[in-house]
Amino acid sequence: MAALVLEHVTKRFGEKVAVDDLSLRIEEGDFVGLLGRNGAGKSTTIKMATGLVPATSGRIEVLGLDIATKGLEARRLMGVMPEDMALLELLTGPQYLRFVGRMYGLDDSTIDARAAELFDTLDLEPGARTLVADYSFGMKKKLALCSALIHGPKLVFLDEPFEGIDAVTNRTIKDILLSLQKKGVTLVLTSHILEVVERLCPRIAIIDDGRLKAFGTHDELGRGERTLESLFVDLVGTEQKGNLSWL
């Protein structure tokens, strides 16, 4: 079964077309890297797929559920780590995870057990009594990941999870994601760190100006010996820049 299907999806904000007739099919258990320049439409695509923003036209199906009509059921199966994180900053980390767990219908003892494990794995224990508002950027990222995983989702969207993260946590998150993939969880990841995407994601989707430029495995995209960065640059097309006149 497909984990995510987008059929001719378009999103307009007034005159601006953020996503333009995008069609994509991601199978269950897949790990897809969603790439694109800033403003290409990656985050809007994720917001539509998670039901946060309605599509102007087209159809989106998540794990067999139409997001327009079965949004709540679909959301129960999803975990989302948005780029802006959207955390409740006046709660402590454990209070926040308890809130999130409750919203997904988990009982308190399950939430507390999972939260303790997540805090231990992601080295968040020193911040257990601190308000989220006082967390460092990296700690907030980790907490956002915890909240995306606490209910055991089948499909996880991760918008820039490696931004502002230290090397050790980076490694831990990668390990977590790979173990999730082994357990059959579908993962959709956006990142500007192409080396990470290259190593983690067997399948790549490249979006430019709201349109799907390419989708497939590294081989299918004809990467060959090239790095993902050079493939990406070739596909989205850019001029050679970088010479500053006064330097």
User: What phi and psi values does residue 3 have, to the nearest 5 degrees?
Assistant: -80, -35
Q: Beta-carbon neighbour count of residue 108 at 10 Å?
A: 10
Report CA torsion sign: 11, 12, 18, 21. Answer: positive
Give the x/- contact pattern for other proteins in 21-60, rule: CB under 8 A.
------------------x----x-----x-xxx------
* Chain Cα centroid distance, residue 61: 17
Asked if residue 67 lies in contact with residue 222, where contact means CB atoms within 8 angstroms, the answer is no
Which x/- pattern over 134-173 shows residues binding other proteins (rule: CB under 8 A)? x---------------------------------------
Contact between 87 and other proteins per CB under 8 A? yes
| 193 makes contact with other proteins (CB under 8 A) | no
Q: How far is the CB of 200 from other proteins (least distance, A)?
A: 24
124/229 Cα distance (integer angstroms):
32
**Choices 58-66, 87-95, 115-123, 217-225; region in contact with other proteins by CB under 8 A:** 87-95
Q: How many CB atoms lie within 10 A of CB 152?
A: 14
The smaller minimum CB distance to other proteins, of residues 44 and 204, is found at: 44
How far, in Å, CA of 242 to CA of 233, rounded? 15
Query: At closest approach, how far in Å is the CB of 147 from other proteins?
Result: 9
Q: How far apart, in whole angstroms, are the C-alpha atoms of residue 68 and residue 70?
A: 6
102 lines the binding site for other proteins (CB under 8 A) = yes
Q: Of 49 and 231, which CB lies nearer to other proteins in the complex structure? A: 49
Binding site for other proteins (CB under 8 A): 13-14, 16, 18, 39, 44, 50, 52-54, 72-73, 75-76, 80, 82, 86-92, 95, 99-100, 102-108, 131, 133-134
